[in-house]
Amino acid sequence: MNASFARALASVLRHEGGYVNHSKDPGGPTNMGITLATFRKWVKREGTIADLKAITREQVAKVYRSVYWNAVRGDDLPAGVDYAVFDYAVNSGPSRAAKALQGVLGVAQDGVVGPITLAAVKAADPIKLIHSLCDQRMSFLKGLKTWETFGKGWSNRVEDVRDTAVQLTAPVSKPPTVPAEPPIPTTKPPAAAPDPAPVTSKARFISGWTIFWVVVAAALLIAAFTIKF
C-alpha cells in the first residue's frame, strides 16, 4: 500500500464510518462504505450481512484499491487531486467521478481516465482543479432525490474533502538539517608531571648529619692551616 493511497483511504473511511442500513440508501447494507453487493463480488461470493460486518481492514483496502482507486488512476494523479477524485468515486461511482473530472478539464467525457485526461490534469493548476471538481460534485448531489435526506452530510463531506485535498497539494517540507556535533578530540592531553617524592624523616636525618660532618671537617682544616703558619 503506497503512501498516497493509504492517506486517501484513511480520509475516505473517516467519512464512511461503520455499518449502516438506511432505508433510503439505495446501496442497502453497507460497512465502511462497502455495500453487500460489492462485498460479494470482491471478497466473498456468498457473504452474509454478518460477514460484511466482520470485514477486515485488509479486505477493505483491497476493495477500495481495486474498485475505486485503480479505476480513476489514483497512482497517476497529483497529490490532492488523487484524493478528491477518489472520494468522488467512492461516493458516486468511478465512471461518474471520471466524467466529472473530464468535464471540468474540458476533455471528452467517456468515463475512463486515460492519457488525454492525465495530460490535461498535469497541465492544470491542482488547487483550481480541486475546487472546480468539488463545485461540480455539489451541483450533482443537489440534483439527487435523496438530497433532502443526506444533503447536510454530503455537504460537510465535500467541503472537508475540498479542504483536505488542497492541503495535500502542498509539498512535504523536509525537517531542518541539524548541524553535526563537533568531533570529540582523540588526542590525549599531556600527562601531568609527577609530584616530587616526599622527603622522609630518615632522609632529613641523614642530610643533617652530612652537613654536620662537612662543617667539622672544614673547621679542622682551618685549624691545621692556622697552626702551620
What pLDDT, on the 0 to 100 scale, is given for residue 40? 94
Render pLDDT for 40-98 as a digit per residue (tens, 0 to 9): 999 999 999 999 999 999 999 999 999 999 999 999 999 999 999 999 999 999 999 99
Closest by CA position to 170, among listed 128, 127, 134, 132: 127
Cα gap 144→149, rounded to integer Å:
10
- Residue 199 within a domain: no
- Residue 192 within a domain: no
Q: Residue 31, exposed/middle/buried by CB under 10 A (0-12, 13-18, 19+)? A: buried
Listed ranges 157-166, 182-191, 219-228; the one with the highest mean pLDDT: 157-166
DSSP 11-54: HHHHHH-SEE--TT-TT-SEETTEEHHHHHHHT-TT--HHHHHT
- Residue 131 within a domain: yes
Q: Which residues face 19 on adjacent strands?
A: 31
Render pLDDT for 82-138 as a digit per residue (tens, 0 to 9): 999 999 999 999 999 999 999 999 999 999 999 999 999 999 999 999 999 999 999
Range of the domain at 74: 3-168
In the predicted model, is pLDDT for residue 206 greater than 60?
Answer: no
Whether the CB-CB separation of 117 and 133 falls below 8 Å is answered with no
CATH code of 111's domain: 1.20.141.10
Q: How confident is the model at residue 189 (pLDDT cuts 50, 70, 90)?
A: low
Whether the CB-CB separation of 66 and 5 falls below 8 Å is answered with no
Whether the CB-CB separation of 74 and 13 falls below 8 Å is answered with no
Angle between helices 126-142 and 94-105 (to 10 degrees): 120
What pLDDT, on the 0 to 100 scale, is given for residue 68? 96
Q: How many domains does the chain have?
A: 1
Whether the CB-CB separation of 19 and 31 falls below 8 Å is answered with yes
Cα gap 140→91, rounded to integer Å:
12
- Residue 81 within a domain: yes
Neighbours of 112 (CB within 10 A): 16
Render pLDDT for 149-170 as a digit per residue (tens, 0 to 9): 989 999 999 999 999 999 999 8
Mean pLDDT, residues 22-34 taken together: 82
Closest by CA position to 132, among listed 103, 108, 110: 103
Lowest mean pLDDT among 28-32, 35-39, 150-154, 210-214: 210-214
Q: How confident is the model at residue 17 (pLDDT cuts 50, 70, 90)?
A: confident
Q: Which residue has the higher pLDDT, 53 or 17?
A: 53
DSSP state of 172: P
The set of residues, in sequence order, having a beta carbon less than 8 Å from that of 187 and lying 6+ positions away, is none
- Residue 21 within a domain: yes
In the predicted model, is pLDDT for residue 201 greater than 60?
Answer: no
- Residue 79 within a domain: yes
Whether the CB-CB separation of 162 and 130 falls below 8 Å is answered with yes
What pLDDT, on the 0 to 100 scale, is given for residue 28? 83
Cα gap 87→205, rounded to integer Å:
103
- Residue 28 within a domain: yes
What pLDDT, on the 0 to 100 scale, is given for residue 208? 57
118: cell is 492525465
Angle between helices 94-105 and 115-123 (to 10 degrees): 50
In the predicted model, is pLDDT for residue 21 greater than 90?
Answer: no
- Residue 203 within a domain: no
